[in-house]
């Protein structure tokens, strides 16, 4: 009885588990945390030294006795124990803001996630003390965060370019008609930039430097102004640190390939609507909704428009569209319950909270052996309603 009183007095919290950042949304308060998905620990004992932004400051500057880890890769838990420590560490940082525990926890997950990976998310949520656990696919959350109503009988296309994955989905009537999760996203673009500068300029640069290059002079279209940036790194030949001047035209050539692959995937998903042309017409009228950090890359919206002849919409806060969508869901659970997968945690045991044991989450299911592609239409039914 005491347990129930504590839980019912707890808070409702949403988490966007990103490869690069974790964003937390508290009911009635909005976004309360946005920090790096990093943990620093002692290599020999595993003792946690720092989490989040504090660990980011240490990243790439540690000695061999300290290990920095990104436990979330491509939107899923890659290191279970480290993920638990990371989330608990972030919770401890904001704990003074709530002391009665977590009543409901809402977590975003990518398309193409396996049942094993999904179970790891449930287990992690239960481990940190959440009673009612809800999962929502990132494209659904991004659509809601971008101001769309996912239940309308109209087709809307979401392209969420994060750090680990690019989520492409066509949404209608509260479900995902077709969707694809690409492993080509912000981190891949950064890796290509760093590799090119290392191979062609003999300069090794940090993750932080690469991200700054992309943010400051990364662009898609050729412009009259060729921007320049001075970067610092280690010359591989001399073994000494040095500065290097680079320009936006060079970066534009480097990132053309991964961006071309993302645009090709967008076009492929539209082409597959040949059996449902009305949805294609809806997308023609509504345009494509671009969210995630990739939406901020200069000229990407214009490039997609040029390649597809479709309008491109970018919400006011593309970086936190998924987190804001989760927030809208938890603020009005009754309205959005049908787009969620949920389980209850009692006495350290997870049980299915649905009368029907079929997979509930829109856009997910068994792997089809096609790189995470789920082209089948997902229908809603009353059996998907959870208590």
Q: What is the 3-state secondary structure (H, E, C) of 313-343?
A: ECCCCHHHHHHHHHHHHHHCHHHHHHHCEEE
Beta strand segments in 43-155, E? 48-51, 66-69, 72-73, 76-77, 102-109, 132-137
Per-residue pLDDT at 384: 37
Question: Is pLDDT of 194 > 80?
Answer: yes
CB 183 within 8 A of CB 165: yes
Q: What is the pLDDT of residues 251-289, one digit of tens each?
A: 999 999 999 999 999 999 999 998 999 999 999 999 999
Residue pair 227/260 in contact (Cβ under 8 Å)? The answer is: no
How far is 239 from 254, CA to CA, in rounded Å? 25
Quote the pLDDT of residue 112: 84
**Is pLDDT of 195 > 70?**
yes
Q: Which two tokens stand for residue 185?
A: 């996203």
pTM comes to 0.84
Give one word for 275, left, alpha or beta, with left for phi > 0 and alpha for psi -120 to 50.
Answer: alpha
Q: Is the dihedral of CA 220, 226, 232, 235 positive or negative?
A: positive
Local confidence band at 98 (pLDDT 50, 70, 90 cut-offs):
low
Q: Rounded mean pLDDT of 373-387?
A: 35
Judge residue 212's burial from the number of C-beta atoms within 10 Å of its C-beta, 0-12 exposed, 13-18 middle, 19 or more buried: middle
Give the pLDDT score at 173.
95
- The three-point CA angle 330-333-338 to 5° equals 120
Separation of alpha carbons 164 and 80, rounded Å: 17
Tell me which CATH homologous superfamily contains domain 2-144+320-384: ATPase, nucleotide binding domain (3.30.420.40)
- 2-144+320-384 matches 190-254 in fold: no
Stretch 30-47: mean pLDDT, rounded? 94
Burial class (CB in 10 A: 0-12, 13-18, 19+), 258: buried
Q: Which of 81-90, 278-287, 318-327, 374-383 has the least mean pLDDT?
A: 374-383
Q: Which residues contact 199 (CB under 8 A, 6 or more apart)?
A: none
Residue 235: strand pairing partners: 203
pLDDT band at 356; cut points 50, 70, 90: very low
DSSP type of residue 312: E
Cβ neighbours of residue 369 under 8 Å, at least 6 residues apart?
none
Q: 3.40.190.10, 3.30.390.50, 3.30.420.40, 1.10.10.10: which CATH number matches 150-184+257-316?
A: 3.30.420.40
**Tokens of residue 104, six digits:** 């409901």
Provide the token pair at 14.
């949403």
- Tell me what pLDDT residue 224 has: 66
pLDDT at 358: 34
Write down the domain spans for the chain.
2-144+320-384, 150-184+257-316, 190-254
Q: Which residue has the higher pLDDT, 122 or 344?
A: 122
pLDDT, mean of residues 69-86: 92
Other beta carbons within 10 angstroms of residue 387's beta carbon come to 9
Q: How confident is the model at residue 63 (pLDDT cuts 50, 70, 90)?
A: confident
Give the angle subtended at the CA of 166 by the CAs of 118 and 275, to the nearest 5°: 90
| Contact in structure between 131 and 187 (CB atoms under 8 Å) | no
- Please state which CATH number belongs to domain 190-254: 3.90.640.10
Q: In the structure, what pLDDT confidence band is assigned to residue 100 with cuts at 50, 70 and 90?
A: low
pLDDT, average across residues 92-104? 73
**What average pLDDT does range 238-261 have in this prediction?**
95
Q: Which residue has the tokens 């560490």?
A: 89
> Which residues does residue 102 pair with via DSSP β-bridges, in sequence order?
11
Tokens 């309008």 belong to which residue? 311
């Amino acid at each position: 009885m005491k347990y129930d009183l504590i839980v019912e007095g707890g808070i409702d919290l949403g988490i966007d588990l990103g490869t690069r950042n974790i964003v937390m949304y508290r009911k009635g308060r909005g976004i309360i945390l946005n920090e790096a998905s990093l943990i620093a620990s002692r290599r020999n004992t595993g003792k946690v030294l720092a989490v989040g932004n504090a660990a980011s400051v240490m990243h790439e500057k540690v000695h061999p006795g300290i290990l920095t880890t990104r436990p979330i890769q491509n939107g899923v838990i890659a290191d279970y124990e480290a993920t638990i420590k990371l989330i608990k560490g972030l919770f401890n940082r904001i704990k003074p803001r709530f002391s009665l525990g977590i009543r409901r926890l809402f977590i975003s997950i990518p398309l193409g996630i396996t049942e094993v990976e999904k179970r790891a998310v449930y287990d992690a949520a239960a481990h940190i003390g959440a009673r009612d656990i809800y999962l929502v696919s990132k494209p659904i959350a991004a659509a809601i965060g971008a101001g769309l109503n996912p239940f309308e009988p109209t087709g809307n296309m979401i392209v969420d370019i994060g750090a680990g994955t690019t989520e492409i989905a066509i949404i209608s009537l509260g479900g995902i008609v077709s969707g694809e999760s690409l492993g080509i996203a912000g981190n891949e673009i950064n890796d290509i930039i760093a590799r090119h500068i290392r191979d062609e300029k003999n300069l090794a640069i940090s993750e932080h430097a690469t991200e700054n290059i992309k943010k400051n002079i990364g662009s898609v279209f050729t412009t009259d102004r060729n921007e320049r940036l001075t970067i610092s790194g280690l010359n591989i030949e001399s073994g000494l640190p040095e500065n290097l001047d680079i320009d936006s035209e060079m970066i534009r050539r480097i990132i053309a390939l991964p961006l071309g692959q993302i645009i090709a995937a967008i076009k492929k998903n539209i082409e597959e609507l040949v059996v449902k042309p009305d949805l294609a017409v809806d997308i023609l009228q509504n345009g494509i909704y671009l969210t995630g950090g990739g939406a901020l890359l200069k000229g990407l919206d214009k490039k997609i428009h040029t390649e597809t002849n479709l309008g491109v919409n970018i919400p006011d806060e593309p970086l936190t569209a998924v987190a804001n969508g989760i927030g809208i869901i938890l603020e009005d659970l009754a309205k959005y319950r049908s787009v969620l997968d949920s389980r209850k945690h009692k006495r350290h045991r997870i049980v299915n909270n649905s009368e029907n044991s079929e997979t509930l989450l829109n856009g997910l299911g068994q792997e089809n052996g096609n790189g995470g592609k789920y082209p089948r239409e997902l229908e809603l039914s009353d059996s998907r309603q959870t208590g």
